[in-house]
Amino acid sequence: MDTSSCFCVVAAVLSIFTVLWTLRDRCGSGYWMAACGALSGALSWALGSGLYLNVPPALCGTALLTCSFILILVTERRVELLPVERRAVLVTGCDSGFGHMLARRLSEMGLTVFAGVLDVNGAGAQQLRESGSENLQVLQLDVTDSSQIETAHHHISAQVADTGLWGLVNNAGVLRCPMDAELHPLTEFRLCMDVNFLAAVKMSQVFLPLLRRSRGRIVNVSSMAAEVPMSMFAAYGASKAALSIFSKVLRRELSVWGVSVALIQPAGFRTNIFGNSDDIIRYRDETLAAVSPVAREDYGELYISSLPGSLSRMSQQCEEDVSPVVDDMCHALLAAHPKPVYSPGRMARLLPLLQRCCPTAVFDAILTLVPRHTDLEPAGLSRS
């Protein structure tokens, strides 16, 4: 096969990939897989016809690449948004971070926003109230408190009446202190599961009747850690992995009702989920008190005490601009053709792809290149 023919084949492969990726984003993985065989057959026919008709391979390849480029431009630029009139959205975890910015953004766009906060008297809640938006309501909403969820449901039901609730954004989440799984108190695993997973399940169950009424949308905020086995993130990653599979199952089940479910899986972004200096001191004291005597001796008190302090370094390594996450949330809520999964942030698509495609030993070697959050090693490793 000469150079021109190779160029044509490569261009054809890139063209198919572009078309399939566009279908995947718009229709989900099921339709994407179904289209794969049909388009592959069409390509074989087109290439065969081109050869029989003596079409120059260079011209064929150039035409395919040009069509691919145009498709990318059209797909990226044309974002058809739904009208915002008479649409109401409930967002949890609006005290700070993604939820806080999303509540502001949606209210500025003209949607009715119910901003759930952990502390209705806190600084974040006060800032939302001072924004001056008449269509933004701040609600006391601890997502682990069933009574507060029911109170919020009664309030919102009275507000939206027969229109229903258009969107539910399960954004509230906790990270606590990343550390070796053996050192993590079981209470930390339970807290992560309660807030990051079970609360989203409860919220979805309670508000789904209102969402079905409007044929609305659920947006669940997971994490890249749900797919990538990052060291120190056993509790957080496990809870987010549970949320991810729950969201994908829910998407399939609710499609017959016309309710869409989107999953946001961001990489690292700098938010208040990393806590403050008081939180770091508390995490250190709680961990030292809960760890077993054997683990304390093997890991060393110096190493264990250093882990909560790594939160500050981790925060500095994350992206400061959280707008890519909020942009994807808005797209999931208002785009005419929302995606099933969004992956904002550096490495958010690449690392999960490598994890799925690479042999385990190769991927483990790749993860060693990720910057460590502490320079210390367990005392037992230093002695061995």
Q: Which residue has the higher pLDDT, 28 or 200?
A: 200
Highest mean pLDDT among 81-85, 160-164, 335-339, 344-348: 335-339
Least confident of 180-184, 229-233, 270-274, 333-337: 270-274
Predicted pLDDT of residue 132: 74
Buried b (16+ CB within 10 A) or exposed e, 335-344: beebbbbbbb
Q: Which residues pair with 81 in a beta bridge?
A: 335
Domain span(s) for CATH 3.40.50.720 in the chain: 88-367
Element (H, E) at 146: helix 146-160
Scan for tokens 């899986």, then name that residue: 265
Least confident of 27-36, 163-172, 269-278: 27-36
Summary mean pLDDT of the chain: 84
d(CA 105, CA 135): 12
Identify the CA nearest to 352 among candidates 272, 270, 206, 241: 241
Element (H, E) at 235: helix 234-254
Q: Catalytic residue at 299? A: no
Q: How far is CA 168 from CA 273, 290, 369, in A?
A: 20, 37, 37
Instruction: Judge contact between 126 and 103, C-beta under 8 A.
Output: no
d(CA 356, CA 104): 37
Catalytic residue among 52, 236, 283, 303: 236
What is the pTM (predicted TM-score) of this model?
Answer: 0.78
Scan for tokens 């829910």, then name that residue: 250
d(CA 50, CA 60): 8
| 132-149 residue pLDDT tens | 788 999 999 999 999 999
| 235-294 residue pLDDT tens | 999 999 999 999 999 999 999 999 999 999 998 887 776 566 677 788 888 888 888 999
- Superfamily of domain 88-367 in CATH is NAD(P)-binding Rossmann-like Domain (3.40.50.720)
